């Protein structure tokens, strides 16, 4: 038996990278997986035997469509992984207003809309797990002001939602990855990893995904409002 047998899990930004790794792990654990992304994710849905829905996380209408299609296909929603996100470096003096607003819209507003979209279904079921992917940038300063602002917001929104939804047996937790081998990994960070990451390596996306699987499963039934850091000791 898998740890997610019979559960229906929505994973955003799941066409590649960390989201794809999470989708594969969820399916291997027995879940029915709904893959969503703004880019084509049919290949991932086929691999995991799930459903792909084209999805812009900044649109409340498209979130409503994801929920409607998921319920039509599977009848319930047990988990949501708010994984979709974008990154751009730039401090206070470099970032443009347009860049700042775009990153906030995807990384912060998208997470809010996702939690709001699935809340009613999970409350009615009296069960559910929402996992919001933040970052170590949501735990410390980073010379990428828009990204850091969005990930600090995800950290805070997670705490707020956990307090609100916990009474309905709906858990909300955040995961804070460090340097992960995906397309979003900054270039030229070898010296940083060697000098500042105690484990002296980056992580495979599956190493983050395993933490997400724990939070989605029943073994984490009393874990609510937590932040779990997956960074090899970077910010320790």
Q: Establish whether 147 is a catalytic residue.
A: yes
- Look-up of token digits 């974008």: 86
Do 121 and 67 form a contact (C-beta atoms < 8 A)? yes
Say which of 87, 100, 147, 234 is annotated catalytic: 147
Catalytic sites, residue numbers: 147
């Amino acid at each position: 038996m898998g740890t997610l047998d019979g559960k229906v899990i929505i994973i955003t930004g799941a066409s590649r990278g960390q989201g794809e790794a999470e989708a594969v792990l969820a399916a291997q654990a027995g879940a029915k997986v709904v893959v969503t992304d703004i880019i084509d994710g049919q290949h991932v849905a086929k691999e995991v035997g799930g459903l792909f829905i084209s999805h812009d996380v900044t649109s409340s209408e498209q979130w409503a469509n994801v929920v409607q299609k998921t319920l039509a296909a599977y009848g319930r929603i047990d988990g949501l992984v708010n994984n979709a996100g974008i990154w751009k470096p730039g401090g206070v003096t470099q970032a443009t207003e347009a860049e700042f607003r775009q990153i906030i819209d995807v990384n912060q507003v998208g997470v809010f809309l996702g939690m709001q979209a699935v809340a009613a279904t999970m409350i009615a079921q009296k069960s559910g797990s929402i996992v919001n992917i933040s970052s170590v940038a949501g735990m410390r300063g980073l010379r990428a002001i828009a990204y850091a602002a969005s990930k600090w917001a995800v950290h805070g929104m997670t705490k707020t939602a956990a307090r609100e939804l916990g009474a309905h047996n709906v858990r909300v937790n955040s995961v804070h990855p460090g340097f992960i081998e995906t397309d979003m990994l900054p270039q030229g960070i070898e010296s940083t990893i060697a000098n500042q990451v105690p484990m002296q390596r980056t992580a495979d996306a599956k190493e983050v995904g395993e933490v997400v699987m724990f939070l989605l499963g029943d073994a984490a039934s009393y874990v609510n409002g937590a932040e779990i850091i997956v960074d090899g000791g970077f910010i320790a």
